[in-house]
Structure 1
Amino acid sequence: MIAVPLPFVVALVLGIYALRLGTRWRLDRRVRRPVIFALACAILLVAVGLRWQFDIAFFRFLLPVLASVLPVISWICFASFDPPLLTWRRVVTHGFFTALILLCSLTWDYWHPPIDFLLCAQFAVYGLLLLRRAGAGDRFYGDINIGEIGSARRIVAAAGGVLILSALVDAGIALDFAWQNGLHVREIVASGNAVMLAFCVFLIVRLGRHVAPAPAYGEPIEAEQKTPSRSQHSVPPGTSVNLENAASDRDIAAAIDQLMQTRKLYRDPALTLDRLSRRAIIPARDISLAINRFYGRNISCIINEYRIAEATQLLADTDKTVTDIQFDCGFQTKSNFNREFRRVTGMSPRDYRNRNANQPGTFMTPFNAVPETQEFVG
């Protein structure tokens, strides 16, 4: 029976996944991140397999160069979910280290530069940067479904963890060569690859799940109004905002509340911060900062609270099933609905229905629940 090395098997699986997802490349630009990341992982895995199967000089030269590209691609795919993917600034900034590794590989025979430790440092730095980005503001997740921003943060954190784990594996390989002449290097590579490949598959599949589908309500993205600059604030009619100065947090929260109550945008499971920004005609960054300061919670929590507000009303006033209510209010998964419902109400949907069966339901939005005397602090 023919034995196929593990890196080749996983590279084949990732390649098939990337090709299948790539069929939407021209239709939806948001699939490009998981496709690029999957292909990058597949190519690197093939190089790893060839390096340790055949130990040819060319593969020894090629592997560190390809490896130095993966942290860059990970940063491009996970640090921000907003287009564009590539800019000249990104190429110059992040391509410097890859060029350095290429130069070291080309001149290896002359001065034996510490390529392994340089790669360890690169993977560790990018991993720490991704962990830091995981806790950054919601504006970095503008193209992700608002209700799934929390999950997207976990994906970014996992991506950073993968890079740090890879740095540790590379450090183990380098130390084994330095102290044991590579006696245990195959075991280190095999065990490290097994763990990292599992993480990579998880990241790619989850990233594909969190790519936002086409706009809801029958409106193409191009038909929505362009988001103005920070100096061009505007809000829907009926909301009082001073256009000469930056809109206050309460004004922005009121504008978002008006959109939620009149247009029921929270019902759209594909709602993203970018789409909300276009509907409100307020920059996404301003929305994110204002919501965080005004409510003390992020935009993902607030949108889910609008959904739960309607869910509580439907549970009290209708005989709809919990599952139907879940989908009507914009939740895509039962687990997320139950988790958010318990966070907001302190009980399960069925318990809430049983306790409020004989009482008329009310639509209490997060904005209405905030005391009028609340003042901006920050």
Structure 2
Amino acid sequence: MLTLPIPMIVALVLGFLLVRSWLKKDRSSLFLGLLASCALQGVVISLVQHYGLAALRPLQPVTATIIPPLAWVTFQATAIRAADARRDFAHFAAPAFTAFCVAFAPVTLDLVVPAVFLTYGVLLLHALRPGADGLPLTRLEAGDLPGLVWRGIAFALMLSAFSDGLIALALATGRAWLQPWIISLFSSFWLLCIGGLSLSQSLGEIEADLPHARVVSADDIQSDTELMAQLNRLLAGGELYLDPGLTLARLAKRLHVPVKRLSAAINRASGENVSRFINGFRIRRACERLEAGDTVTTAMLESGFNTKSNFNREFLRVTGCTPSTWLQKGRADLALTRSAESRLLSD
């Protein structure tokens, strides 16, 4: 009777998610490629470790080292900057070098493969240090969530390097029988983490429209006060911040200033990052819609959110309570006000 090992089950799950995302057309080709590479690795591990296809063993480290640079390129192109084929393609020297090692220096693979995973995991964590304002192509409605998702992917990559260390320890202590179990369990976990996290709604495909800001001199730079006044005038109409697809890059482009200049001004003037600042406008608009009698869902859509989890999280952060609790408090306050007015009239 044919049994399915854990990596194969993970590969089937990722394959299903890949097909669903492709049919829905809600992910960029890079995200789909990341899902496909994770699913492929699950299949290769299963065939080698559980079905005894030794001929595919040399392929396993090569397909594995495709994933970290692909995750990095996907991160850069969907969160930081527009895609650059020449610069991005250079990162795939990692699997090419791994293939070279498979052919000519297999003894080095125990060092090369974990080094690739660890390097790209650390690169991701370092790139995420600036926080939400360092991800100009992500939707502002998602708040800090995109950064948390990418940190999860970074730690999943680093976990693979840790599992390689466990394998080396098992072999050194005469417990070689643990190797297939370590590979299956750890690889299944990090593959599922990377594949699942890459489907987060906060990482949807965003048009890469970073402003090509000119270099400005110190005399030409607006003061924070002037820039914030210009920003507030732009937001006063409401149409811009009500766009669920608004990003820091698009906002900077409308103001004709560099991304870093705008985020720094908002940080200093408000003490908040850009996503929290813009979402504050959105939540205040949502409160107005709730007061006008809209349902929570209608208020969410009318205030620039298209994901309920993002809306609830930001509503709680800004108001200190959930939308339903806020509505109940509003009704209670209204009832008290009407009761007081009735007593005054009766007196």
TM-score, normalised by the number of residues in structure 1: 0.77
Say if 1:262 and 1:51 are closer, same or farther in 2 by CA, change over 3 A. same
Other-structure match for 2:341: none
Other-structure match for 1:128: 122
Q: Secondary structure at the match of 2:50?
A: helix
**Does residue 1:116 correspond to 2:110, yes or no?**
yes
Contact 2:266 2:274 (C-alpha < 8 Å) held by counterparts: yes
How far apart are the structure 2 equivalents of 1:107 and 1:229?
47
Moved more, 346-355 or 55-64: 346-355
How far apart are the structure 1 equivalents of 2:129 and 2:332?
37
User: Deviations along 1:282-319, whole A, 9 cap, x unmatched?
Assistant: 33333223222322211110111001222333444x23
Other-structure match for 1:31: 28
How far apart are the structure 2 equivalents of 1:209 and 1:77?
14
Letter in 2 for 1:350: L
**Does residue 1:327 correspond to 2:320, yes or no?**
no
C-alpha displacement at 1:34, in angstroms?
A: 1.7
Letter in 1 for 2:100: L
Other-structure match for 2:260: 285
Other-structure match for 1:231: 215
Match of 1:270 among 236, 242, 245: 245
Other-structure match for 1:71: 68
User: Deviations along 1:309-359, whole A, 9 cap, x unmatched?
Assistant: 22333444x233333222211233444334323322334422552476499
Moved more, 61-70 or 14-23: 14-23
Other-structure match for 1:376: none
Match of 1:341 among 287, 309, 315: 315
How far apart are the structure 2 equivalents of 1:256 and 1:91?
37
Q: Flag structure 2 segments of 5+ consecutive residues without an equivalent.
A: 337-347
Other-structure match for 1:104: 101
Say if 1:66 and 1:85 are closer, same or farther in 2 by CA, change over 3 A. farther
Letter in 1 for 2:222: A
Q: Flag structure 1 segments of 5+ consecutive residues without an equivalent.
A: 214-220, 233-241, 360-378
How far apart are the structure 1 equivalents of 2:333 and 2:259?
37
Match of 1:195 among 166, 175, 189: 189
How far apart are the structure 1 equivalents of 2:11 and 2:308?
33
Match of 1:163 among 129, 154, 157: 157
C-alpha displacement at 1:88, in angstroms?
A: 1.9
- Aligned-pair identity (%): 30
Other-structure match for 1:371: none
Contact 1:117 1:171 (C-alpha < 8 Å) held by counterparts: no
How far apart are the structure 1 equivalents of 2:192 and 2:298?
35
Contact 2:76 2:83 (C-alpha < 8 Å) held by counterparts: no
Q: Which has the higher contact order (CA 8 A, sep 6+)?
A: 2
Aligned pairs for 1:254-265 within 5 A: 254-265=229-240
Aligned length: 333
TM-score, normalised by the number of residues in structure 2: 0.83
User: Deviations along 1:355-378, whole A, 9 cap, x unmatched?
Assistant: 76499xxxxxxxxxxxxxxxxxxx
Q: Secondary structure at the match of 1:180?
A: coil
